[in-house]
Amino acid sequence: MQPDLTFSEQVRDQSGQNVQRCYYCQRCSAGCPVASLMDYAPAQLLRMIQLGQKEAVLHSSAIWLCVGCETCGTRCPNGIRTGVVIDSLRQMATAEGVAPAVPSVFKLHRAFLDSIRLWGRVHELSMLAQYKLTSLALFSDLDLGLDMFLKGKIHPLPRRIRGVAEVRKLFALK
Amino acid sequence: MRYGFYPGCTLHSTATEFGSSMEMTCAALGIELVEIPDWNCCGASSAHSLNHTLALALPTRDLVQAQQLGLTDIAIPCVACYARMVTADYTLRNDAAFRAEMETALGFTYEGRVRPRHLLDILANDFTSEELVGKVTRPLQGLRVVSYYGCLLVRPPELTGRWDDPEQPQTMDRLVELLGAEAVPWSYKVDCCGASLTLNRSDVVVHLVDRLVQAAHEAGANAIVNACPMCMANVDGRQRFRGSPGRPGPTYVPMPVFYITELLALAFGRPLDKVLGKHAIDPRPLLKGLDLI
C-alpha cells in the first residue's frame, strides 16, 4: 500500500503526541484490556502511523474498540499517550468520512452527542432509543433496561437545561 | 466545609445509589455540596471520540459556572466526568490559544482558581483518619473487600495530579480499613471494565468483568468496592451474564459490588436498606449474614 509520508506529522499535530518516539517495546499492547479483540494492537497502530499507513489505520477496528482507559499512556516509557492518538484517529476518520469499522460504536457516540445537543444533558431512554433504531440492536439488553426502569433508575422524560443554546454553539466550534 | 458539586448525568438516574449514599456520607461529615446551577453533560467518551474541540468545550462551560460560584474545589463523583473535567482544566491552564478561544465563545475570563476533584479524593484526603473513624458507629467487621479503582480515577497521572498512585492506588483500601472492613490485596485494581462498550459490545465487557470477578473470588474477597458509575454498571450489572454464551455458568457465584460512599454511609450508621435494594446483585443477604444491617 502506498504510504502517506505526512501521516505521522498529521497525527502528531492533531494529537500533540510524538509518535516517532515509539521504539516498539509493546508495553501499551501488553496492558491494553481490549488488544486481543483489535485487528491491530496499540503498538502496531503506532508503527503503522510511523510507516504512513493512513488508509489501513483509519479503516481499522482498533481505533473504535479502544476504551480510552489510558493504561497505554501511563505505562509508555516515551511518554506517548496512545489513547489520545487514537482519539485523533477516530476524529480524522469521522472528518474524512471513513466508514467506521465498528459501526455500533460510532452510532452510540452519535446518539449520545445528539442527546446532549437536544437537552444539554444525556437522557438515557431517548438516547438508547435512537441508538437501537440506528444500529438495529432492537432487542439487546431489554431485560437489564426493564430492571433498571422498575428500580427508578431510568427517567421516562428528559429535562432541558436553560443554557442549551449556549451548548449548541459549542457544537459549531471548529 | 463547602464544595462546588458537579453531579453528572448518571448520579440521579442509573447511579442513584451513588447519589443517595453520597448525600448521607456528606451529611455525616458536615460537607455542604453546592451544585453547579445549569450544568451540562461533560461529553464523556463520545465527545472525545468524535470531536476534539467539543470534548474540551463542554466541560469548560461547567468550569465557567463553577468559577462563578466562587468556590475553588469542585466535587465530582463520576469518574468519566472527572476525567473530562481535569482534561479541560489542564488544557485551559496550559494552552493559551485554547483558553482565548473558550473565553470568547463562552464570554468569561479564566481565573484559574477552580480545581476539579474526584469525590473520593475529597473524602479520603480532606479529613483525618481520626475524623473519619470518629463517625463510625457500625464497624464493617466481616467484610473482606477488594478495592476496584478502574481506569480513569487515577490515570493519566499528569492530569489527576497523582493524589493516588496510577498502578498501585491505596485510597479506598485505606478507607475500608478505617471503617473496620478488611482490605484484601489483589492485582486487578486498575484494570479497565470496558466502560462505554457496555451497550454496543457487551460481549467484551462481560469478558472483562468475568476476569475481575474471578480474581476477586480468588483473592478471598466477599465484596468489591468502587467509586465510578460506569464500573458499577458493568461489574454489578454485567456479572450475571458470566459464563458463555450469555448465561451464568455453573461456577457463577454473585459477588456484591458497593460504592465507597455506601460503605461509608453504612459504617456511619445511616439507613441504607432501600438504596442497596437497587443494585443488580442484592448485597443485603451478605450484610445480613454479617449482622451489618
Residues from chain A contacting residue B50 (CB–CB below 8 Å): 90-91, 94, 106, 109-110, 113
DSSP string, A56-108: HHHT-SHHHH-----HHHHH-TT---HHHHHHHHHHHHHHTTPPPSSHHHHHH
CATH assignment at residue A45: 1.10.1060.10
Q: Which domains does chain B have, with CATH numbers?
A: 2-119 (1.20.1050.140), 138-289 (3.40.50.11810)
- Out of B61, B166, B197, name the one closest to residue A67 (CB): B197
C-alpha cell at A64: 473504535
Nearest C-alpha of chain B: how many angstroms from A74? 6
Q: What number is the average pLDDT over the span B61-90?
A: 96
Same domain as A115, residue A83: no
Q: How confident is the model at residue B86, as a pLDDT?
A: 97
Query: Which of A74, A94, A169 would you mutate first to test chain B, the one with the most B CBs within 10 A?
Result: A74
Residue B172 has pLDDT above 70, yes or no: yes
Same domain, A11 and A63: yes
Quick one: A47 and A16 in the same domain? yes
Asked if A79 and A131 sit in the same domain, the reply is no
Are A67 and A132 contained in the same domain?
Answer: no
Nearest by CB to residue B156, choosing from A37, A74, A102, is A74
Are A64 and A107 contained in the same domain? Answer: no
Domain region containing A136: 103-172
* pLDDT one-digit tens code per residue, A60-114: 999 999 999 999 999 999 999 999 999 999 999 999 999 999 999 999 999 999 9
ipTM: 0.93
Alpha carbons within 13 angstroms on the beta-carbon side of residue A138 total: 2
In a domain, A1, yes or no: no
Q: Domain check: are A108 and A75 in the same one?
A: no
DSSP of B92-129: HHH-HHHHHHHHHHHT----S--EEEEHHHHHHHSS-H
For chain B, what percent of residues have pLDDT higher than 70? 97
Q: What is the pLDDT of residue A64?
A: 96
| Residue A112 maps to a domain | yes
A3 min Cα distance to partner chain B (Å): 25
Q: Which of A95, A114, A149 is the last residue of a domain?
A: A95
Specify whether A67 is located in the same domain as A147. no
Which residues of chain A does B166 touch, with a Cβ-Cβ cutoff of 8 Å? 74
Residues A68 and A139 in one domain: no
Per-residue pLDDT tens over the stretch B207-249: 899 899 999 999 999 999 999 999 999 999 988 877 655 555 5
Residue ending a domain, among A33, A63, A95, is A95
Among A95, A126, A158, where does a domain finish?
A: A95
Whether A12 and A72 share a structural domain = yes
What is the number of domains present in chain A?
Answer: 2
Per-residue model confidence (pLDDT) at position B202: 85
| Range name among A51-55, B9-13, B129-133, B249-253 with the lowest pLDDT average | B249-253
Task: Tell me if A2 is assigned to some domain.
Answer: no
Does residue A12 share a domain with residue A82?
yes
In B, which residues are within 8 Å of A65 by CB distance?
197, 201, 204
Residues 110-149 of B with CB under 8 A from A: none
> What's the CA dihedral at B261, B267, B272, B277 to 10 degrees?
70
Q: What is the per-residue pLDDT for B102?
A: 96
pLDDT score of B240: 82
Task: Give me the residues of B, 65-94, that contact A with CB < 8 A.
Answer: none
Q: Is A167 close to B43, i.e. CB distance below 8 A?
A: no
Does A76 share its domain with A116? no
